[in-house]
């Protein structure tokens, strides 16, 4: 059976920290679907389609990674794509507490789902999309936190 994993998030924008988590998870799964969630509570800076395009461009040379946009519950999206695994990145202890609560809820909704947590590389601990958006909004250079494809796209 193919080991399909969903890495859900807003990826607004995708950062070097996200890319690091995906790259380090590649040996664990046959396929990773980076799932751009449409969150009614959040007002994203970039369209879901733009975020999906960035992910597709970043991983264009890797057939194990694909990008998708989804709306609704992650567990429902996992069922749609046949995924039995969810990937989440952890930067701080407080992230773990929040992510564990979500993982427990997901497992209650679908007992066959397993969530994998990967801690980020120490150099990416402070990299958060929220901070990156603030830098961009205020005219700063966010390129140190972003894949080159995203940085170049923002310059246009």
Q: If residue 66 lies in a helix (H) or strand (E), which one and from where to where?
A: strand 65-71
pLDDT on residue 150: 96
User: Which of 64, 79, 84, 91 is the catalytic position?
Assistant: 91
pTM for this entry: 0.94
Give me the CATH number covering residue 67: 3.40.50.620
pLDDT on residue 122: 87
CA–CA distance from 95 to each of 25, 34, 58, 98, 127 (Å)? Answer: 18, 19, 25, 5, 13
- Burial grade of 6 (CB within 10 A; 0-12, 13-18, 19 or more): buried
Q: Is-contact 36 3, C-beta < 8 A?
A: no
> Active site includes 91?
yes
Number of structural domains in the chain: 1
- 10-residue stretch averages of pLDDT, the chain, 156 residues long: 96 96 97 91 90 98 97 97 97 90 97 96 87 92 94 88
Residue 135 lies in domain? 4-155
> Active site includes 18?
yes
pLDDT on residue 92: 86
User: Which of 3, 38, 42, 137 is the catalytic position?
Assistant: 42
The neighbour count for residue 138, using CB atoms within 10 Å, is 8
Q: Which residue carries 């990674």 as its tokens? A: 65
> Active site includes 24?
no
Q: Where are the alpha helices (DSSP H) in 32-121?
A: 48-58, 74-81, 93-109
pLDDT on residue 40: 66
Reduce the DSSP state of residue 131 to 3 states and report it. Answer: helix
CA–CA distance from 117 to each of 7, 57, 60, 129 (Å)? Answer: 10, 25, 24, 18
pLDDT on residue 127: 83
CA distance 70 to 62: 21
CA distance 118 to 139: 32
């Amino acid at each position: 059976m193919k080991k399909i994993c969903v890495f859900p998030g807003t990826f607004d924008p995708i950062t070097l920290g996200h890319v690091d988590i995906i790259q380090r998870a590649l040996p664990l799964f046959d396929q990773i679907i980076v799932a751009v969630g449409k969150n009614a509570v959040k007002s994203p800076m970039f369209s879901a389609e733009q975020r999906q395009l960035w992910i597709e461009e970043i991983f264009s040379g890797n057939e194990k990674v694909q990008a998708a946009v989804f709306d609704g519950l992650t567990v429902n999206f996992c069922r749609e794509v046949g995924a039995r695994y969810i990937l989440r990145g952890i930067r701080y202890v407080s992230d773990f507490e929040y992510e564990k609560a979500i993982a427990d809820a997901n497992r209650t909704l679908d007992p066959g789902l397993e969530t994998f947590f990967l801690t980020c590389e120490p150099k990416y601990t402070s990299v958060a999309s929220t901070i990156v958006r603030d830098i961009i909004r205020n005219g700063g250079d966010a390129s140190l936190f972003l894949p080159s494809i995203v940085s170049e796209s923002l310059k246009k």
